[in-house]
């Protein structure tokens, strides 16, 4: 999806795409009474006079193709189509700008195949999310704002004269339609609580008033893409009480970070224990250098170059932990919609437990990158009865001794799947009756397939014990001169792949190697033989220094241990 989306967006040309090409004798749409826009294709040069003689109002004469577009009566168009100068008459059809999935939304849904399955279970339907911000502007790509409040003047005028609040709202809930972007949870009920003025400034007074409004109006999730470097007893108490009353509070960690990521500079209210502090990551999975750091960082989410909605029906790309927080708030809404029986604490624990470790320090990423796919799977695993008329599958995935978190369990040929939570549990709802093959897989294990029979209104139990794959690593990288031609030579590069546990050669490993020389680079891909070796040949290679690097090793039953290994060689 990722690549496809980009290609589609690149092709955002206003090309006229016609749905069907009607032949001259097959103008079946001509039953309509109203005038329609048609393309009149000519066998030779276009003749506007001919179109006019059939009552057509000429709109455009194309120069690229021998075609005139015209508004005309369908019956007249049908008659015109029979004229010998006419090659075809066809109906104009609307062409829409295509919707883009912003990288951050794509990222929090995990591997590409999980995006739509997750949405099969939850799109955040009905969950009330309050955006405490600069307000929310009307936008064709946002849900109609269900209500709101202006905490600055006590009115219900919450329109956004800044853009910040509208951008945040779009990351949470931009609509899944054919335009613009899409948010994490497009079916939530969106509430605009204006606590910041059109210059983006507010006060503890306005924020507390906004939190109070959210509590009094039954909000479930509060997003606060705002903060201050100092706290306040009133703000802390307001957050603590809202949390105790069952709301989930999500806030931007702050943009006070420094490039080395040192110090404790998380903003308030994110810093309070009752609030989830969200740091910002970039597309490469690194902490944004501006993202605040410290022990109160709880989650990290995309916050660099985030495209979303802004006032005026348009879109803009912003960076900041303000952009990260709404990704987490949106996932929280998905979780709650997937399982409405959860408490705010349980939703929070799911976000923590299913976060993806980006390999960053805890003060930078907290539990890790918020993951919609895993979080929704975990929410479903917490015991939702199957929907009427359908069955469900539940169970655990372990390695025989401990639970495997993040294992995927796929019901073949159905598009249904589950992901295990921290306890190795999964739940797949909405399974039709029948017999299915179910595949459990985990990156460190050999996948396993089992059969299961699912009956209507019943939950089948299916546990998996996966075998951990042995680790392998690149052993020796050996250069040899196979044949000499003066200042050139055929050079062979042999890589040995070994089982890390016992040093035995691994057969059938797929090895990627690059060889660099000052004149050029080579890239090879090959499979190891039964002695664990694979050999590549550089034909008629010039003298000079060579560096061979194993960049990747893949195997069906092994996982690699230490992949990158280099070896130098000089051909004199």
Q: Taking each helix axis from N to C terminus, what angle separates 344-353 and 372-381, rounded to the nearest 10 degrees?
A: 130
CA–CA separation, 277 and 296 (whole Å): 7
CB of 143 or CB of 261, closer to Ca ion: 143
Stretch that binds Ca ion, among 99-107, 291-299, 369-377, 481-489 (CB under 5 A): 99-107
CA–CA separation, 228 and 224 (whole Å): 11
CB of 175 to Ca ion, least distance (A): 5
Stretch that binds Ca ion, among 20-28, 85-93, 137-145, 335-343 (CB under 5 A): 137-145
Cβ atoms of 156 and 146 within 8 Å: the answer is: no
166 binds Ca ion (CB under 5 A): no
Stretch that binds Ca ion, among 59-67, 180-188, 284-292, 467-475 (CB under 5 A): 180-188
CA–CA separation, 564 and 555 (whole Å): 16
Q: Which of 106, 133, 160, 421 is catalytic?
A: 133
CB of 142 or CB of 380, closer to Ca ion: 142
DSSP states of 327-361: HHHHHHHHHHHH-TT--HHHHHHHHHHT-B--S--
CB of 98 to Ca ion, least distance (A): 10
Assess whether 343 carries a catalytic annotation: no
CA–CA separation, 273 and 114 (whole Å): 31
CB of 173 to Ca ion, least distance (A): 10
Q: Which of 30, 106, 160, 164 is catalytic?
A: 164
State the first-to-last Cα distance of the chain, in angstroms, to the nearest integer. 48
CA–CA separation, 248 and 176 (whole Å): 25
CB of 100 to Ca ion, least distance (A): 8
CB of 167 or CB of 364, closer to Ca ion: 167
Residue of the chain from 155, 177, 340, 449 that contacts Ca ion (CB under 5 A): 177
CB of 174 to Ca ion, least distance (A): 5
Stretch that binds Ca ion, among 114-122, 141-149, 320-328, 388-396 (CB under 5 A): 141-149
DSSP states of 15-30: ----S----TT--GGG
CB of 314 to Ca ion, least distance (A): 13
CB of 4 to Ca ion, least distance (A): 16
Contacting residues for 7 by C-beta, under 8 A, at least 6 apart: none
CB of 70 or CB of 172, closer to Ca ion: 172
Place of tokens 């613009």: 180
In this structure, what DSSP letter does residue 469 have? P
CB of 187 to Ca ion, least distance (A): 12
CB of 183 or CB of 406, closer to Ca ion: 183
CB of 175 or CB of 553, closer to Ca ion: 175
Stretch that binds Ca ion, among 96-104, 165-173, 381-389, 496-504 (CB under 5 A): 96-104
Q: Which of 322, 421, 442, 499 is catalytic?
A: 322
180 binds Ca ion (CB under 5 A): yes
Stretch that binds Ca ion, among 32-40, 176-184, 192-200, 363-371 (CB under 5 A): 176-184
Bin 229: left if φ > 0, else alpha if -120 < ψ < 50, else beta: alpha
Q: Show the binding pattern over residues 372-391: x = contacts Ca ion (CB under 5 A), - = does not.
A: --------------------
Assess whether 133 carries a catalytic annotation: yes
Three-class SS of residue 115? helix
CB of 315 or CB of 522, closer to Ca ion: 315
Q: Where are the beta strands (DSSP E) in 114-260?
A: 128-133, 147-150, 189-194, 221-224, 248-252
Where b means 16+ CB within 10 Å and e means fewer, 472-511 reads bbbbebebeeeeeeeeebebebbbbbbbbeeeebbeebeb
Three-class SS of residue 537? strand
CA–CA separation, 329 and 324 (whole Å): 9
Distances (CA, A) of 424 to 37, 342, 379, 393, 463: 58, 19, 13, 14, 10
CB of 9 to Ca ion, least distance (A): 12
Residue of the chain from 80, 101, 132, 175 that contacts Ca ion (CB under 5 A): 175
Total length of the chain:
572
CB of 141 or CB of 187, closer to Ca ion: 141
Percentages of the chain per state (helix, strand, coil), in multiples of 5: 20, 35, 45
Q: Where are the beta strands (DSSP E) in 151-302?
A: 189-194, 221-224, 248-252, 275-281, 297-302
Assess whether 164 carries a catalytic annotation: yes
CB of 179 or CB of 559, closer to Ca ion: 179
Residues contacting Ca ion: total by CB under 5 A:
6
99 binds Ca ion (CB under 5 A): yes
Place of tokens 């009115």: 155
- Among 103, 94, 85, 78, which Cα is nearest to 28's? 78
CA–CA separation, 550 and 564 (whole Å): 5
CB of 97 or CB of 525, closer to Ca ion: 97
Residue of the chain from 78, 100, 133, 141 that contacts Ca ion (CB under 5 A): 141
Stretch that binds Ca ion, among 167-175, 255-263, 301-309, 373-381 (CB under 5 A): 167-175
202 binds Ca ion (CB under 5 A): no
CB of 5 to Ca ion, least distance (A): 12
Stretch that binds Ca ion, among 39-47, 136-144, 453-461, 549-557 (CB under 5 A): 136-144
CB of 183 to Ca ion, least distance (A): 8
- Among 438, 411, 407, which Cα is nearest to 421's? 407
320 binds Ca ion (CB under 5 A): no
CB of 313 or CB of 526, closer to Ca ion: 313
Catalytic residues: 133, 164, 322
Residue ranges that bind Ca ion, judged by CB under 5 A: 99, 141, 175, 177, 180, 182
């Amino acid at each position: 999806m990722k690549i496809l989306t980009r290609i589609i967006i690149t092709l955002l040309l206003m090309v006229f795409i016609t749905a069907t090409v009607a032949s001259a004798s097959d103008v079946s749409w001509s039953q309509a009474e109203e005038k329609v826009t048609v393309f009149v294709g000519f066998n030779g040069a276009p003749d506007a006079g001919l179109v006019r003689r059939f009552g057509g109002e000429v709109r455009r004469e194309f120069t690229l193709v021998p075609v005139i577009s015209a508004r005309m009566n369908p019956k007249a168009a049908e008659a015109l189509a029979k004229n010998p100068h006419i090659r075809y008459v066809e109906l104009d059809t609307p062409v829409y700008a295509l919707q883009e999935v912003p990288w951050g939304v794509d990222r929090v849904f995990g591997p590409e195949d999980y995006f739509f399955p997750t949405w099969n279970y939850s799109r955040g339907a009905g969950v009330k999310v309050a955006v405490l911000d600069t307000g929310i502007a009307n936008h064709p790509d946002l849900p109609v704002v269900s209500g709101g409040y202006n905490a600055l003047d006590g009115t219900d005028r919450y329109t956004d004269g800044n853009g910040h609040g509208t951008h945040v709202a779009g990351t949470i809930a931009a609509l899944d339609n054919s335009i613009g972007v899409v948010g994490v949870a497009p079916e939530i009920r969106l509430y605009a609580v204006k606590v910041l003025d059109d210059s983006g400034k507010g006060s503890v007074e306005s924020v507390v008033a906004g939190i109070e409004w959210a509590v009094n109006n039954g909000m479930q999730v509060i997003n606060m893409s705002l903060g201050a470097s100092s706290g306040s007893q009133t703000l802390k108490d307001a957050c603590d009480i809202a949390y105790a009353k069952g709301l989930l509070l999500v806030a931007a960690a702050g943009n006070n970070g420094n490039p080395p990521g040192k110090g404790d500079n998380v903003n308030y209210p994110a810093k309070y224990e009752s609030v989830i502090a969200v740091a910002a990551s970039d597309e490469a999975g690194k902490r944004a250098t501006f993202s605040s750091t410290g022990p109160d960082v709880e989650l990290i989410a995309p916050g660099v170059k985030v495209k979303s909605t802004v006032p005026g029906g348009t879109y803009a790309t912003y960076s900041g932990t303000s952009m990260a927080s709404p990704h987490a708030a949106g996932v929280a809404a998905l979780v709650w919609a997937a399982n409405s029986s959860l408490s705010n604490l349980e939703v929070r624990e799911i976000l923590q437990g299913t976060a993806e470790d980006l390999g960053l320090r805890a003060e930078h990423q907290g539990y890790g990158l918020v993951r919609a796919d895993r979080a929704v799977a975990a929410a479903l695993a917490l015991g939702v009865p199957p929907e009427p008329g359908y069955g469900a599958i539940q169970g655990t995935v372990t390695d025989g001794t401990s639970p495997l978190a993040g294992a995927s369990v796929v019901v073949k040929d159905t598009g249904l799947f589950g992901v295990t939570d921290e306890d190795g549990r999964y739940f797949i709802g909405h399974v039709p009756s029948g017999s299915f093959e179910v595949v459990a897989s985990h990156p460190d294990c050999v996948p396993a397939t089992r059969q299961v029979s699912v009956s209507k209104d019943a939950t089948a139990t299916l546990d998996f014990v996966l075998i951990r794959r042995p680790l392998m690593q690149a052993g020796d990288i050996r250069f040899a001169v196979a044949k000499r031609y003066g200042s050139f030579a055929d050079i062979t590069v042999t890589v040995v792949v070994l089982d890390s546990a016992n040093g035995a050669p691994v057969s059938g490993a797929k090895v990627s190697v690059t060889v660099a020389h000052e004149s050029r680079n080579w890239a090879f891909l090959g499979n190891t033989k039964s002695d664990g070796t694979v050999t590549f040949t550089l034909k008629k290679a010039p003298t000079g220094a060579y560096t061979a690097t194993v960049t990747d090793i893949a195997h069906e039953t092994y996982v690699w241990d230490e992949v990158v290994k280099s070896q130098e060689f000089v051909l004199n």
